[in-house]
Amino acid sequence: MSNAFVYVTYIYATPQKVWDAITKPEFAHKYWMHYNVSDWKKGSRWEHQNGDHSGKVMIDGTVLESDPPRRLVTTWTRPDKSKEPSRVTYDIAEYNPGLVCLTVTHDQLEHDPGMAESVSGGWPKVLSNLKSFVETGKAENIWLIKNKG
């Protein structure tokens, strides 16, 4: 089995709405409890900042590809640089008019098994919550959702 985590979700929205939910800090804050901060240009830095307004950088990295509103690829790095970065790809495809198929692939995790485990539990929560937020305007407080039963 390859060392990649892949999650697919279908969202009743336009690609632009899904792109905005990922890249606009105030939107990401609603369902992810973090701000995603960058100008989202190829080569730019991005930061995943704690949503408590401390501005603390929880994850950072570099924008590798940016094709709004269809595709975004970034590195995913621990701020202390204790491990090799991994990589996240967001593919935002219009499946039917008004329906997006969002595929998130988190790979290059070979050097960081702890991160692999953490993101495999985290992405289903984050992306379920993103879908709810985009479709209904409401999202759960992600910190209150339990990982295990």
Partner 1 sequence: MAKLTTEPTIYVTYIATTPEKCWQALTDAKFSAQYFFGQKIEGDWREGGKIRYRTADGGEHIEGEILACDPPRLLRFTWRIVGMPALRHLPDCIVSYRLEAAGEGVIRLTMLEEHPEGIDQRLLGGGRSGWPAILSGLKSLLETGAVPKITPPTPPQEMLDYMKEHGA
| Residues contributing to the site for partner 1 (CB under 8 A) | 1, 7-12, 95-96, 98-99, 101, 124-125, 128-129, 131-132, 135-136, 138, 140-141, 144-146, 149
Identity of the residue, 54 or 141, whose beta carbon is nearer to partner 1 in the bound complex: 141
Identity of the residue, 3 or 9, whose beta carbon is nearer to partner 1 in the bound complex: 9
Identity of the residue, 4 or 57, whose beta carbon is nearer to partner 1 in the bound complex: 4
Identity of the residue, 11 or 92, whose beta carbon is nearer to partner 1 in the bound complex: 11
What is the rounded (10 degree) CA torsion for 21, 94, 75, 130?
30
Q: How far is the CB of 101 from partner 1 (least distance, A)?
A: 8
Q: How far is the CB of 103 from partner 1 (least distance, A)?
A: 9
Specify whether the CB–CB gap between 126 and 32 falls below 8 A. yes
d(CA 90, CA 92): 6
Give every CB contact of residue 49 below 8 A, 6+ residues apart in sequence: 25, 34, 35, 36, 37, 55, 56, 57, 58
